[in-house]
């Protein structure tokens, strides 16, 4: 019983504390800001420049000028750009056009050196093509694909040459030919993807651990090196999409990134176009590892998804325990309040009186008073009467439910008076202590 | 206002009300009991003083005045302090009569 009382009292305060905590959590969750944003992306697409190979360098301006004077086309060591010589020759015609091709990944100073070679009509740094006052960049995805997947810059050179000769730009020609990957090629890639979600072909510079990104859940990543443009390129994207339906698949050829999988039709072009429109210029000059390129691309995808363009549901709303618990909080709070109320009501109810010894004492003293009233003389009259008055007060206090201690006090006074009265009598055994002890025995 | 909003408001009000009652009700009960005890003591003392007066050999003016004042206070039914004052007067009167 006592244990139950203690436990229910403790439980009552525990419930009150829980209600307070729940209310605080609820209030703390009511954050409101004046900021209105359609996209709250946790990332910002940016191209990390770490990991670029050092030591890429070009000869001095004089040396390069001499080289350009000696040859119409100068390829410096490490140059990656290629082009269709027949088309370029046809575009040049009989003009004196000299082409200087430098490797990607040059720093600012070395790029300046390349542009100081005045005799070079067309300068190619990496796959960045410029000439005179003109620069050429692709204006559609297929152009970027050709530029970044193969390093072919035919269209860009032809455009520059036409601009320099004040001729209209010829139509672009997409030189890339695709073929189905063979069963063996596909199996090697698929095995890697099943095992680690990442396939890194020989020559590719992607990390072998899947990137940690909010862009895709469970994405598959296959990276291949830059492909030669004269051979047909195995088209892994559609083949892998057929093999892994409903999973996001990223295929990289060099700096070119393709998306395959769910929502490809609405999504892949937006992501690709916005990514290469922003970063194409830098990518064409630099020699970043594929890791950096993929990181920037995934950040861009994250931004697009968070922006909620096309009303597409976010596939990756992060799991937030507070958000999950919030609808339940009022009811947890209500339950705590109800429990607290119930226990408090029990606590506030008057407790049943405990077992009392005073009624027996009162009865004994009253019997003694009656006995003494027959024997008393005049000297004992007043104490006896006072004792009886005191007994009457004790009886009334008892019947009024006053506290035990008070009743006992009154009885002690009464017993003192009766003791006075008994001492004035010549009889033994009438003193209250003796009398009560005898009665109880 | 939504249902859950109502829960917070009603629940909060219920908590405040319960807290108030939890503090107020036992205090009120205790005060009432103290008062009843004090008056019970006072009445017992007055009764005893009355018996002593009847038994006394001589009249004691001051004791009678004190007892009259105690009875007057008791007739007005004040609080704990009034009861204590009445008790003190009655006890003093009782002592005076017993000494007489």
Q: Tell me whether residue A12 is in a domain.
A: yes
Tokens linked to A14:
């525990």
A371 within domain boundaries: yes
A284, A384: one domain: no
Within an 8 Å CB–CB cutoff, is residue A411 touching chain B?
no
Q: What angle do CA A50, A52, A57 make, to 5 degrees?
A: 140
Tell me which chain A residues have a C-beta less than 8 angstroms from the C-beta of B22: 344, 347-348
Spatial separation of the C-alpha atoms in residues B57 and B39, rounded to whole Å: 29
Based on the domain organization, do A134 and A67 belong to the same domain?
A: yes
Residues of B whose CB is below 8 A from A347: 22
Give the bridge partners for B78, in sequence order: none
pLDDT digits (tens, 9 = 90+) for A152-203: 999 999 999 998 888 888 888 888 899 999 999 999 999 999 999 999 999 8
Question: Are A327 and A394 part of one and the same domain?
Answer: no
Same domain, A196 and A258: yes
The verdict on A249 and A342 lying in the same domain is no
pLDDT at B5 over 50: yes
Using alpha carbons, select from A217, A212, A273, A223 the residue that is nearest to residue A246: A217
E-strand spans in A80-183?
99-102, 122-125, 128-131, 134-136, 178-179
Please check whether residues A80 and A147 belong to one and the same domain.
yes
3-state secondary structure of A412: helix
- Cβ neighbours, 10 Å, residue A375: 14
What sign does the CA torsion over A235, A239, A245, A250 have? negative
Do residue A393 and residue B47 have CB atoms under 8 angstroms apart?
yes
Mark which residues 272-331 of A lie under 8 Å from B by CB. Answer: 327, 329-331
Give the count of domains, chain A. 4
In a domain, A85, yes or no: yes
Q: Is A37 contained in some domain?
A: no
Tell whether A416 lies on the interface with B, counting CB pairs under 8 A. no
Output the domain CATH number for residue A238. Answer: 3.10.310
Residue A56 is assigned to a structural domain of this protein: no
The nearest alpha carbon in chain B to A399 belongs to: B40
Same domain flag for A193 and A305: yes
pTM of the model: 0.53
- Residue A78: predicted pLDDT: 87
B chain contacts of residue A402, beta-carbon cutoff 8 Å: 33, 36-37, 40
Nearest chain A Cα to B18, which residue? A341
Chain B residues touching residue A341 (CB < 8 angstroms): 14, 18
If pLDDT is split at 50, 70 and 90, which confidence band does B38 have? very high
Residue B84, pLDDT score: 92
List, edge to edge, every strand of the sheet that includes A249-253.
A198-200, A220-224, A249-253, A256-260
* Rounded CA separation A45/A296 (Å): 5
pLDDT at A1 over 50: no
Chain A / chain B CB contacts < 8 angstroms: 83
Question: Closest residue of A to B14, CA-based?
Answer: A337
User: What pLDDT does A441 receive?
Assistant: 60
Angle between helices A264-285 and A290-307 (to 10 degrees): 140
A 340-369: CB under 8 A from B: 340-341, 344, 347-348, 350
How confident is residue A38, by pLDDT bands cut at 50, 70 and 90? low
User: For residue A44, is it within any domain?
Assistant: no
Question: Measured between beta carbons, which residues in chain A are less than 8 angstroms from residue B3?
Answer: 330
- Gap between the Cα atoms of A5 and A15, Å rounded: 15
| ipTM topping 0.90 | no
- Nearest CB among A330, A341, A403 relative to B18 is that of A341
Q: Which of B14, B37, B43 sits opposite A341 (nearest CB)?
A: B14
Q: Are residues A210 and A327 in the same domain?
A: no
Same domain, yes or no: A327 and A398: no
Pick the last residue of a domain from A164, A189, A212: A164
A88 & A118 share domain: yes
Residue A251 has pLDDT above 90, yes or no: yes
Q: In terms of domains, do A186 and A158 share one?
A: no
The pLDDT value given to residue A37: 54
* A266 found inside a domain: yes
- Mean per-residue pLDDT, A112-140: 88
Query: Rounded mean pLDDT of B47-66?
Result: 87
Q: Measured between CA atoms, how close is B18 to chain A, in angstroms?
A: 7
Judging contacts by C-beta atoms under 8 Å, the chain B residues touching residue A337 are 11, 14-15
**Which of A262-276, A311-325, A420-434, B31-45 has the largest mean confidence?**
B31-45
Domain enclosing residue A214, as ranges: 178-311
Whether A172 maps to a domain, the answer reads no
**Both A342 and A276 in a single domain?**
no
């Amino acid at each position: 019983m006592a244990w139950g009382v203690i436990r229910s009292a403790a439980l009552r305060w525990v419930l009150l504390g829980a209600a307070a905590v729940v209310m605080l959590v609820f209030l703390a969750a009511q954050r409101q800001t004046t900021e209105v944003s359609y996209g709250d992306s946790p990332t910002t697409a940016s191209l990390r420049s770490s990991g670029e190979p050092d030591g890429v360098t070009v000869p001095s301006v004089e040396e390069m000028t001499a080289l350009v004077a000696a040859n119409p086309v100068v390829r410096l060591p490490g140059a990656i750009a290629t082009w269709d010589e027949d088309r370029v020759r046809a575009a040049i015609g009989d003009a004196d056009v000299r082409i200087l091709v430098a490797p990607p990944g040059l720093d600012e100073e070395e790029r300046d050196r390349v542009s100081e070679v005045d005799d070079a009509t067309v300068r190619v740094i990496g796959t960045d093509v410029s000439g005179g006052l003109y620069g050429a960049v692709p204006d559609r995805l297929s152009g970027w694909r050709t530029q970044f997947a193969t390093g072919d810059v035919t269209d860009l050179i032809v455009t520059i040459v036409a601009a320099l000769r004040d001729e209209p730009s010829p139509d672009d020609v997409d030189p890339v030919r695709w073929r189905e990957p063979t069963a063996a090629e596909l199996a090697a890639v698929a095995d890697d993807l099943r095992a680690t979600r990442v396939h890194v072909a020989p020559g590719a510079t992607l990390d072998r651990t899947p990137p940690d990104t909010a862009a895709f859940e469970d994405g598959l990543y296959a990276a291949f090196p830059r492909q030669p443009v004269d051979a047909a390129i195995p088209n892994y994207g559609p083949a892998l999409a057929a093999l892994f339906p409903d999973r996001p698949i990223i295929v990289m050829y060099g700096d070119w990134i393709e998306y395959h999988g769910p929502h490809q039709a609405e999504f892949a072009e937006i992501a690709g176009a916005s990514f290469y429109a922003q970063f194409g210029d830098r990518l064409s000059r630099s020699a970043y590892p594929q890791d950096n390129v993929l990181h920037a691309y995934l950040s861009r995808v994250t931004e697009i998804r968070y922006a909620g363009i096309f009303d597409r549901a976010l596939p990756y709303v992060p799991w937030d325990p507070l958000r999950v618990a919030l609808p339940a909080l009022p009811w947890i709070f209500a339950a705590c309040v109800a429990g607290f109320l119930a226990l408090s009501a029990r606590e506030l109810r008057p407790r049943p009186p405990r077992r009392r010894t005073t009624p027996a004492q009162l009865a004994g003293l009253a019997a003694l008073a009656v006995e003494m009233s027959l024997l008393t003389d005049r000297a004992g009259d007043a104490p006896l009467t006072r004792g009886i008055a005191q007994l009457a007060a004790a009886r009334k206090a008892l019947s009024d439910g006053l506290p035990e201690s008070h009743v006992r006090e009154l009885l002690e006074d009464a017993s003192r008076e009766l003791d006075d009265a008994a001492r004035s009598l010549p009889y033994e055994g009438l003193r209250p202590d003796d009398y009560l002890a005898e009665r109880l025995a | 206002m939504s249902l859950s909003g109502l829960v917070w408001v009603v629940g909060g009000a219920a908590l405040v009300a319960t807290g108030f009652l939890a503090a107020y009700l036992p205090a009120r009960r205790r005060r009432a009991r103290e008062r009843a005890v004090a008056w019970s003591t006072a009445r017992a003392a007055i009764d005893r003083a009355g018996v002593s007066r009847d038994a006394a050999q001589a009249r004691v003016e001051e004791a009678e005045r004190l007892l009259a004042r105690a009875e007057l206070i008791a007739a007005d039914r004040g609080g704990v302090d009034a009861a204590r004052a009445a008790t003190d007067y009655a006890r003093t009167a009782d002592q005076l009569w017993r000494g007489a």
